[in-house]
Amino acid sequence: MFFILVLILIAAIGFVNRYLLKKTNGQIWQLPLLDKTAKVLPYSIVPFLILWGLGSLSNLQWLKISGATLTGIILIINLMLLLTLPFSFGTHLLSRIFKPEPQKSPLKLKKSRRMFLKSAAAAAPVFAIGSAGEGFASSFSETRFPQIEMPFKNLPDDLDGIRILHLSDLHLGYYFGLDHLENTLQNAEKYDPDLIAVTGDIADDLGLMTDAMKLIDQLKTPYNKYVIVGNHEHFRGINEAIRRINAGPVPLLFNQNDTFTIGGTKLTIAGVDDPVRMRADITGFLDNAVDIAFNGAAQADFRLLLSHRPRALDVAEKYNIDLTLSGHTHGGQVGFAGRSLWEIINENGYLWGSYQKGNSQLYTSAGMGHWFPFRLNCPLEAPVITLKKA
């Protein structure tokens, strides 16, 4: 059913694109090669979907990734073209307004305006395809390791300089395999993390889950590693996801906590379940989950929360949580000046980067994977969070 829906979606977008682009760029579309390419584009998805399906059925990772990647390319091209159509169609209408009337002598100003508008309408699809290519290529770039210093008042001396490797939204299965995780962990070794936090959406192919936990455990750290689930673990079957995580060596915090000592300082780390719901108000769910997670926790000098959803910051101060690490958003996969572009319309979404509410702080990772292969100015990341005394 999933593959049928993808096929219908891309076919519909492809046909709409061809019709509207032909209307707005008539002369260009008279070229036989371009017109034939546009006709074939919606159908070209079929063999790639077949590859993806065969890879899923046969459990051949290379075949699955190849099919999913090629499907993603066609979908991105069609979507980017579709996004430019309002601009192209608007400039097309304006060019008709500035069209010289045949009974009058042509006005140079009107002609120049019309030529400019027609050129703009034609350039928009070219820009869209270029952006699609850049966004697709960036989505497979090597994971970077931003060094994030987070200052805290009254931070115990034992915790000053502690480094946390934050892994989130790996989405192993469709576009990334275990080799992507292994390469990231090898590159992370030089940053000497003290502990590792994995904040959900680990694998879209649950068959990779246990091996992923084993790989993460191979990166030696002075202190423990911890993992929580995200909404994609629920989508794939939460009970099976938990079973496969627990079959590995990395402890799962499912509305649970653990307290350990660094020097003479106690640090409590807790992890919460994901609400699964995408648009409903999840504050009540997170409030209850955090309450359960810290229930019975030992008295500690520093409290760290792992929550797949960054909205946990809204309840964090209530539970004296110093730092929350989250993911889920992928940074909106489109960034500007180190922030998510979508914060323009969702300023309280905590989409990417550092945030503070009261005395509680949050870092939302843009993630080191995705389920849709497109990123612009929002690269894959595995941030290294360093605790610092303010």
Q: What is the pLDDT of residues 222-262, one digit of tens each?
A: 999 999 999 999 999 999 999 999 999 999 999 999 999 99
Average pLDDT, the chain: 84
* Under 8 Å between Cβ of 245 and 211: no
Give 41-87 pLDDT, tens digit per residue. 666 767 777 776 777 777 776 777 777 777 777 677 666 666 655 55
| Averaged pLDDT for residues 149-159 | 97
Most confident of 112-121, 276-285, 302-311, 332-341: 302-311
CA distance 291 to 105: 78
pLDDT of 117 reads 47
Work out whether strand 265-271 and strand 256-262 pair parallel, antiparallel, or are unpaired: antiparallel
Residue 314, Cβ neighbours under 10 Å: how many? 18
CA distance 108 to 112: 6
* Under 8 Å between Cβ of 306 and 271: yes
| Averaged pLDDT for residues 29-34 | 54
pLDDT of 316 reads 98
Would you list the domain boundaries of the chain? Answer: 2-138, 147-389
Residue 90 has pLDDT above 60, yes or no: no
Residue 282 has which token pair? 């999840």
| Averaged pLDDT for residues 132-148 | 82
CA distance 8 to 25: 25
Q: Which amino acid is at 311?
A: R
CA distance 129 to 275: 37
Residue 155 has which token pair? 């931070």
Residue 132 has pLDDT above 70, yes or no: no
Residue 120, Cβ neighbours under 10 Å: how many? 17
| Averaged pLDDT for residues 99-125 | 52
Within 8 A by CB and 6+ apart from 121, the residues are 24, 25, 87, 88, 89, 91, 92, 95
List, in sequence order, every residue forming a beta bridge with 259; answer none if it has no partner. 268
Residue 263, Cβ neighbours under 10 Å: how many? 10
pLDDT of 344 reads 87
Closest C-alpha to 24, from 88, 72, 86, 98: 88
CATH of 147-389, one of 3.60.21.10, 3.30.420.40, 3.40.50.1100, 3.30.300.30: 3.60.21.10
Collapse the DSSP code of 199 into the 3-class scheme (helix H, G, I; strand E, B; otherwise coil) and give the result.
Answer: strand
CA distance 168 to 309: 11
Closest C-alpha to 324, from 310, 339, 342, 338: 310
